[in-house]
Amino acid sequence: MPAHLLRPALGLSLLVALGIAAAMLGEGAMRADFQSRFQPPTLAHPFGTDQLGRDMLARTLAGLGVSMQVGLAAAAISTVVAVLLALVAGLHRAADAAVSFVIDLFLGLPHLVLLVLLSFAFGGGTQAVILAVALTHWPRLGRVLRAELMQVQASDYVRTSYALGRSRGFVLIRHALPHLLPQALIGFILLFPHAILHEAGLTFLGFGLEPSRPAVGILLADAMKTLAAGRWWLALFPGLCLLGLVLAFDNIGNAVRRALDPRGARS
């Protein structure tokens, strides 16, 4: 296997293994055993146990599964919004100016503050986190797609299409959209780890998922309460697994970008 494909292949294998393990061990994430409270890592509990004696390996895997679901939904919504607004920007100069203003407005606002406000405004919970993350992660991708659209509209074959009487909508759908989809795919994959991290951050701050769910942010927030007592495993293993998940998606996204962008492959 080529060297540049090794790391993304390992990352993809990790994600598949994570999904299988989360499905197999998910039930153990909520099973309490008060006789096994605060046990350090052992062969029976490789990640230790928490204050209710629940297995931290099962809870970490279940939490990563929840984070992947939230990240998938948020990244998909963000990508769809970015593509639609990029197409709207190609309809007319006034529409382009309006889209550019909205992008600059979102990029100019403090990101974390906007996340917290939107999550609070939507009432908290899983759906609120998905909407908050989705509505704050599309602007950068939208700016990239708009710039790509401007390049397509300035090309000779698009000018020829207009000269032959084609409508602007026809040009956007038949000529511009196929050029935007590869960039949108790359953006979707690279948005995924950002969405996961911000979901964990929101949940850690108390504005995210329900406390009853074994999300990584909740595990880290609970770990902070007992970290001073020497229960280091409660924060170490969920944090490392979250970092590994983010790096896996980042490697996959970079590999897809090199495959779809010849200019990036030569750089």
- pLDDT bucket at 266, cuts 50 / 70 / 90: very low
| Residues 153-204 pLDDT 10s | 877 877 787 777 777 777 788 888 888 888 888 888 888 888 888 888 888 8
Looking at every residue in the chain, the average pLDDT score rounds to 80
Average pLDDT (6-32) is: 60
Asked if residue 15 has pLDDT above 80, the reply is no
Instruction: Return the percentage of the chain with pLDDT > 90, whole number.
Output: 5
> Does residue 108 lie within any of the structural domains?
yes
CATH number of the domain enclosing 216: 1.10.3720.10
Q: Measured between alpha carbons, how far is 163 from 82 in angstroms, rounded to an integer?
A: 29
Asked if residue 265 has pLDDT above 50, the reply is no
> Does residue 160 lie within any of the structural domains?
yes
pLDDT at 12: 58
pLDDT at 84: 92
Asked if residue 264 has pLDDT above 90, the reply is no
pLDDT at 29: 59
| Residues 70-114 pLDDT 10s | 888 999 999 999 999 988 888 888 888 999 999 988 888 888 888
| Contacts of residue 223, Cβ cutoff 8 Å, sequence gap at least 6 | 231, 234, 235, 238
Domain range for 195 is: 56-262
> Does residue 166 lie within any of the structural domains?
yes
pLDDT at 83: 92
Task: State the alpha helices, DSSP H only, in 90-166.
Answer: 93-108, 111-121, 126-137, 139-153, 156-163
| Residues 202-227 pLDDT 10s | 888 777 777 777 778 888 888 888 87
Task: Scan for tokens 């009432």, then name that residue.
Answer: 123
> Does residue 36 lie within any of the structural domains?
no
> Does residue 212 lie within any of the structural domains?
yes
pLDDT at 25: 57
pLDDT at 267: 43
> Does residue 22 lie within any of the structural domains?
no
| Contacts of residue 45, Cβ cutoff 8 Å, sequence gap at least 6 | 36, 39, 55, 56, 57
- Helix, strand or coil, per DSSP, at residue 101: helix
Highest mean pLDDT: which of 31-45, 126-140, 144-158? 126-140
> Does residue 35 lie within any of the structural domains?
no
| Residues 116-127 pLDDT 10s | 888 888 887 888
- Distinct helix (H) and strand (E) counts, the chain: 12, 0
> Does residue 10 lie within any of the structural domains?
no
Q: Do residues 53 and 33 touch, judged by C-beta distance below 8 A? A: yes
Q: Measured between alpha carbons, how far is 63 from 199 in angstroms, rounded to an integer?
A: 11
Total domains present in the chain: 1
Q: Do residues 180 and 149 touch, judged by C-beta distance below 8 A? A: yes
Please give the C-alpha separations between residue 115 and each of 121, 169, 210, 258, in angstroms, as whole numbers.
10, 34, 16, 31
